[in-house]
A and B are shown apart, each in its own frame.
Chain A
Amino acid sequence: MATVAEASALSFYIHIPYCVKRCGYCDFNTYTPSELKVESSLTEISHSYIDLIIEEIAMARANSTATTVPTIFFGGGTPSLMEPSDLARVIDAIGQRFSRDSDCEITMEANPDTLTLDRLRGYFEAGINRLSIGMQSAVPHVLHVLDRTHNPANIEIAVGWAREVGFKEISLDLIYGTPGESIEDWQASIDAALALDISHISAYALIVEDGTKLAAQVRRADVIIPDDDETADKYIIADDRFRSQGFEWYEISNWAKPGSECRHNVAYWKGANWWGIGPGAHSHIDGRRWWNVKHPTAYRDRIQAKLAPMQGQESLTEPEIAREEIMLSLRLPGALSLARFSGEQRRALEDFLGQGHLEQSAWDAGMLTLTQSGRLIADRIVRELVV
């Protein structure tokens, strides 16, 4: 299913750090015009920002031995705030300096409110071939708690347009475990998503991140986070429904029709090489990891001064690499071989097998695959294996 990391391959993550409005649960590195204190429209920002991005792509070329690009991912923030022509410039800039694989997966995250038929056509023509739409929920009161402004009906329209202009790979993002979300609400969201012509679904349990508006609401007890057992129930409901509709899980929070897995994300989980472009973006190449300065202004100053925008870095030691491998690969089915584990680790694993947290069939084939209940306690199993 997935690309095996090759030394000559380099994936690109392009960070678009802008949103019209910040959602209450979001702790991503993104900024609204008012936060940036700019008068200019996001379109103007878009043009000048893309210039900076292209500068960093040039730096990547100068500092990398990679030749081919298997995937590109525009994430954010809200990449769909960028003009199609601007994203085309980025894709072309990469194509000019590296060799884009013929089947290069180029994903863009999109907010349904920003999409029009024309823009979608523009993005598709720019070379984007995979769309990840932030649906989150189909239930208005849940969207309200999440601070999402979009009209749930827009999702269906956006998916229809995307199909119309030629997108084959369409993913929806869902969030469950939002304060006030009932089991029925969650089922309604699942049904709404499955009713659409899509190839991929991500479903995330809501994480209350420090420093967000949601965290403050939780602290003040304005909203009550549902207990973990209920959230576990929602995962089970989702997993059962998705699989019954032909979506297979290929990562704990990701389901896809066969062949529609997101190869870019799989590259992360398999420890492949990628270059993160833009403020706050992380990169990983051959056991070395670095991350850029976070603020768009600081980033701009660095790039304009022809300096690397890197803020910090680490070189992973062998044990750290091994720990990351276990931590990430256990999230995928059949990605860890039993043979790598010591006797003590195997005994711990046998316990998990006995408790029904590991698939017997994979085990018999010498591989680890978490069962549904095992996926729900994946972090615990990882701790057991690395401790």
Chain B
Amino acid sequence: MPAIPLAKAPQPSQTNPAQIRNFCIIAHIDHGKSTLADRMLGITEVVEKRNMRAQYLDRMDIERERGITIKSQAVRLPWRSGIDGQEYILNMIDTPGHVDFTYEVSRSLAACEGAVLLVDCAQGIEAQTLANLYLAMENNLTIIPVLNKIDLPAAQPEKFAKELAKLIGCEPEDCLRVSGKTGDGVEELLDQIVKQIPAPIGDPEAPARALIFDSVYDSYRGVVTYVRVVDGHLSTRDQIQMFSTGVRHEMLEVGVISPEPVASKGLGVGEVGYLITGVKDVRQSRVGDTVTNYQRPTTKALAGYKDPRPMVFSGLFPLDGAEYPMLREALDKLQLNDAALVFEPENSAALGFGFRCGFLGLLHMEIVRERLEREAGLALISTAPNVVYKVTDDAGKELIVTNPSEFPDGKIMKVEEPIVRATVLAPSEFIGGIMELCQQRRGTLLGMDYLSEDRVEIRYTLPLAEIVFDFFDQLKSRTRGYASLDYEPIGEAEGDLVKVDILLQGEKVDAFSAIVHRDKAYTYGVMMTTKLRELIPRQQFEIPIQAAVGARIIARESIRAIRKDVLAKCYGGDISRKRKLLEKQKEGKKRMKMVGRVEVPQEAFIAALTTDDEKSKEAKK
């Protein structure tokens, strides 16, 4: 067997870089990455059969349930090559598979010399995989194209081999064919990783430089930082320093994951492992930063470090105002493990006290919200997501707007909004529908390429705000679910944007304000006023509902006054029952939000702010 018992395998901190291969797997969700990883753990025997469980490496429930990997991990796999019979150490670095985490993906890629491009040969490559593939190619990684699920009856390996060959610039027969499910071809894949991917190169004598490619908070151990050593050596005796902040940390433990953590003396050039320093907050150990030795620091950071920048903002409010402190606590706790999450207190006239939160994207937003609800047991209302606007007023003063309520009322010189470059992959029969959608969403066509005879890659620039607003859902429905989407921010552009306010009985409801393109203001206004007319119960007076841009009313509806709200009968035997009903209604009324004199049930806020359930579910993919 080509597996090597762990005890006999080359040990951490004493492994010759020439024996090391660092690789990641680039794949779309449900293309079988986790199953393939499971299979590798089994074949290399780092996990005993009796301990094996499906999706071994996915830690959080949410990851398992949704089949997505939010955080990457690295596993050290000893392997004796079937080609040359030599011993090797393979470090498999897992990569997050979603558009929101492009930066994290890029750091994972930077920790590797090669990448396995894993494609489901019944489905073909997806847009996000393509984006990550381009990222890997940019990083000069050796790409090993692999077609997975060859056991499926619907497999079309020939067709997709051609597609991959064209993308990478290899021959179709260079594509390996495996089945993570049956294990077919996986040993050969491990051998090819050893053969094709270059060994890491670094200077063992230079001051230590290690790249942080992941950072995870563990409630028992504090922050566990995953690194790839580029130069020098890290050992337990060292004091280390974070290059970006200059902060010094004690090294409490160094080790490797195999796939459970195993402490080691240290990590040498090319090795991948973890550090524990007693830090309690992932923001002190940021992805992309360079770890160096405090006594003998490097002067040159590894390239590519960026602060995570939130792209999408939304207000999160507890349904029960009394849960505000719990929400704060839960956000604080999440932030320990999520350097990209930012938040600040927000006070909404309509929704009470909550937090304005910034996220990397829609998926990130969904995950945070779900974790808050699931792990902290909170019931939340979230406002419609929006992007960051740069507003310049008449006086030339610039204002960053992350909340429609901050949008200035006075004269405005210009508004700039984030623009993304979006890539859509889809069967060519849907080109018309996709282009129509992108056109409607203020897109500019950049180009179009055929990946194969019937699959096409379409590139557009689009305002991010348009993607945030149910774009993915529309895309899926126009392509019968076949299209995939990826996007990356490419800058800002001026847009003809206005704020639409929604007024109930003349009072602005901040939670419903939105910044939209002038051409869409009317549509938004009509949509919201109609929705609210249906959602808000009739009250003892007529309630006008208006949508306004500045002082100009662009849409109006009205809720007629209720005329009958009385029980006809109330005699001796009814009195208790009626009083109790009244007391129950009194409790119910506490959960009403008052907008001026209008009682708005919380359900109405939730329903008005939710585009619809199907949409948010789709957006997660």
Q: State whether A376 and B579 are in contact (beta carbons under 8 Å apart), knowing that A268-B571, A331-B570, A357-B540 are contacts in the complex.
A: no
Q: How far is the CA of A134 from the CA of B541 in the complex (A)?
A: 36
Q: State whether A204 and B569 are in contact (beta carbons under 8 Å apart), knowing that A282-B575, A383-B586 are contacts in the complex.
A: yes
A77 an interface residue at 8 Å Cβ cutoff?
no
B573 an interface residue at 8 Å Cβ cutoff?
yes
Task: Determine if A376 and B566 form an interchain contact, defined as CB atoms under 8 angstroms apart.
Answer: yes
Q: State whether A379 and B565 are in contact (beta carbons under 8 Å apart), knowing that A323-B579, A387-B586 are contacts in the complex.
A: yes
Residue of B nearest to A274 (CB): B572
B59 an interface residue at 8 Å Cβ cutoff?
no
Task: Determine if A380 and B569 form an interchain contact, defined as CB atoms under 8 angstroms apart.
Answer: no
A342 an interface residue at 8 Å Cβ cutoff?
no
Q: How far is the CA of A282 from the CA of B585 in the complex (A)?
A: 23
Q: How many residues does chain B have at the interface if contact means C-beta atoms less than 8 Å apart?
A: 24
Query: Which residues from B are CB-within-8-Å of A327?
Result: 570, 575, 578-579, 582
17 more A-B residue pairs beyond the given contacts A229-B564, A327-B570, with a C-beta to C-beta distance below 8 A: A205-B564, A206-B568, A228-B563, A235-B564, A253-B568, A253-B569, A268-B575, A282-B575, A314-B576, A327-B575, A328-B570, A376-B563, A379-B567, A383-B582, A383-B585, A383-B586, A386-B582
B296 an interface residue at 8 Å Cβ cutoff?
no
Q: How far is the CA of A284 from the CA of B576 in the complex (A)?
A: 10
Which 5 residue pairs are nearest across A and B when measured between Cβ atoms? A232-B563, A204-B568, A232-B564, A282-B573, A228-B564
B597 an interface residue at 8 Å Cβ cutoff?
yes
B589 an interface residue at 8 Å Cβ cutoff?
yes
Q: How far is the CA of A387 from the CA of B586 in the complex (A)?
A: 5
Query: Which residues from A are CB-within-8-Å of B578?
Result: 327
Task: Determine if B586 and A380 form an interchain contact, defined as CB atoms under 8 angstroms apart.
Answer: no
Q: How far is the CA of A265 from the CA of B11 in the complex (A)?
A: 93
B583 an interface residue at 8 Å Cβ cutoff?
yes
A304 an interface residue at 8 Å Cβ cutoff?
no
Using C-beta atoms within 8 Å of the partner chain, give the interface range for chain A: 35 or more
Q: How far is the CA of A274 from the CA of B573 in the complex (A)?
A: 11
Query: Which residues from B are CB-within-8-Å of A253?
Result: 568-569
A373 an interface residue at 8 Å Cβ cutoff?
yes
Within 347-387 of A, Cβ neighbours of B (below 8 Å) are at 351-352, 355, 357, 373, 375-383, 386-387
Q: How far is the CA of A112 from the CA of B271 in the complex (A)?
A: 99
B448 an interface residue at 8 Å Cβ cutoff?
no
A138 an interface residue at 8 Å Cβ cutoff?
no
A106 an interface residue at 8 Å Cβ cutoff?
no
Q: How far is the CA of A29 from the CA of B167 in the complex (A)?
A: 80
Query: Which residues from B are CB-within-8-Å of A328?
Result: 570, 575
Query: Which residues from A are CB-within-8-Å of B571?
Result: 265, 268
Task: Determine if B579 and A324 form an interchain contact, defined as CB atoms under 8 angstroms apart.
Answer: yes
19 pairs across A/B with beta carbons < 8 Å?
Answer: A205-B568, A207-B568, A228-B563, A228-B564, A229-B564, A252-B568, A281-B572, A282-B572, A282-B575, A284-B572, A327-B575, A376-B566, A378-B565, A378-B566, A379-B566, A381-B540, A386-B582, A386-B586, A387-B586
Task: Determine if B567 and A323 form an interchain contact, defined as CB atoms under 8 angstroms apart.
Answer: no
Other-chain contact of B573, A206, A207, A231, A276 (Cβ < 8 Å) = A276
Query: Which residues from A are CB-within-8-Å of B575?
Result: 268, 282, 284, 289, 324, 327-328
Task: Determine if A355 and B540 form an interchain contact, defined as CB atoms under 8 angstroms apart.
Answer: yes
Count of A-B contacts judged by CB separation below 8 Å: 96
Expressed in whole angstroms, the minimum distance between the Cβ of A385 and any Cβ of chain B is 10
A167 an interface residue at 8 Å Cβ cutoff?
no
Query: Which residues from A are CB-within-8-Å of B568?
Result: 204-207, 252-253
Task: Determine if A352 and B540 form an interchain contact, defined as CB atoms under 8 angstroms apart.
Answer: yes
A49 an interface residue at 8 Å Cβ cutoff?
no
Residue of B nearest to A355 (CB): B541
Q: How far is the CA of A284 from the CA of B572 in the complex (A)?
A: 8
Residue of A nearest to B589 (CB): A387
Q: How far is the CA of A228 from the CA of B589 in the complex (A)?
A: 22
Query: Which residues from A are CB-within-8-Å of B564?
Result: 205, 228-229, 231-232, 235, 376-377
A76 an interface residue at 8 Å Cβ cutoff?
no
A309 an interface residue at 8 Å Cβ cutoff?
no
Task: Determine if B583 and A377 form an interchain contact, defined as CB atoms under 8 angstroms apart.
Answer: no
Other-chain contact of B566, A229, A276, A375 (Cβ < 8 Å) = A375
Residue of A nearest to B571 (CB): A268
Task: Determine if A351 and B583 form an interchain contact, defined as CB atoms under 8 angstroms apart.
Answer: no
Residue of B nearest to A73 (CB): B572
Query: Which residues from B are CB-within-8-Å of A331?
Result: 570
Task: Determine if B573 and A291 form an interchain contact, defined as CB atoms under 8 angstroms apart.
Answer: yes
A84 an interface residue at 8 Å Cβ cutoff?
no
Query: Which residues from B are CB-within-8-Å of A125?
Result: none
Q: How far is the CA of A352 from the CA of B570 in the complex (A)?
A: 22
Query: Which residues from B are CB-within-8-Å of A79?
Result: none
Q: State whether A13 and B565 are in contact (beta carbons under 8 Å apart), knowing that A357-B540, A383-B586, A386-B586 are contacts in the complex.
A: no
B607 an interface residue at 8 Å Cβ cutoff?
no
A280 an interface residue at 8 Å Cβ cutoff?
yes
A320 an interface residue at 8 Å Cβ cutoff?
yes
Expressed in whole angstroms, the minimum distance between the Cβ of B300 and any Cβ of chain A is 68
B562 an interface residue at 8 Å Cβ cutoff?
yes
Q: How far is the CA of A44 from the CA of B565 in the complex (A)?
A: 44
- Convert B571-612 into 0s and 1s, putting 1 for each residue whose CB lies closer than 8 angstroms to a CB of A: 111011011001101100100000001000000000000000
Q: How far is the CA of A280 from the CA of B540 in the complex (A)?
A: 36
Query: Which residues from A are CB-within-8-Å of B569?
Result: 204, 207, 253
- Convert A170-197 into 0s and 1s, putting 1 for each residue whose CB lies closer than 8 angstroms to a CB of B: 0000000000000000000000000000
- Convert A270-292 into 0s and 1s, putting 1 for each residue whose CB lies closer than 8 angstroms to a CB of B: 00001010001110100001010
Within 419-467 of B, Cβ neighbours of A (below 8 Å) are at none
Q: State whether A376 and B576 are in contact (beta carbons under 8 Å apart), knowing that A323-B583, A327-B582, A328-B570 are contacts in the complex.
A: no
Query: Which residues from A are CB-within-8-Å of B576?
Result: 282, 289, 291, 314
Query: Which residues from A are CB-within-8-Å of B597?
Result: 351
Expressed in whole angstroms, the minimum distance between the Cβ of B99 and any Cβ of chain A is 48
Q: How far is the CA of A108 from the CA of B568 in the complex (A)?
A: 21
Within 210-239 of A, Cβ neighbours of B (below 8 Å) are at 228-229, 231-232, 235
Query: Which residues from A are CB-within-8-Å of B540?
Result: 352, 355, 357, 377, 380-381
Q: How far is the CA of A231 from the CA of B578 in the complex (A)?
A: 21
Query: Which residues from A are CB-within-8-Å of B563?
Result: 228-229, 232, 373, 376-377
Query: Which residues from A are CB-within-8-Å of B566?
Result: 252, 375-380
Query: Which residues from B are CB-within-8-Å of A205?
Result: 564, 568
Task: Determine if B572 and A207 form an interchain contact, defined as CB atoms under 8 angstroms apart.
Answer: no
- Convert B531-551 into 0s and 1s, putting 1 for each residue whose CB lies closer than 8 angstroms to a CB of A: 000000000110000000000
Expressed in whole angstroms, the minimum distance between the Cβ of A294 and any Cβ of chain B is 11
Residue of A nearest to B597 (CB): A351
- Convert A7-45 into 0s and 1s, putting 1 for each residue whose CB lies closer than 8 angstroms to a CB of B: 000000100000000000000000000000000000000
- Convert A234-274 into 0s and 1s, putting 1 for each residue whose CB lies closer than 8 angstroms to a CB of B: 01000000000000000011000000000001001100001
Query: Which residues from B are CB-within-8-Å of A204?
Result: 568-569
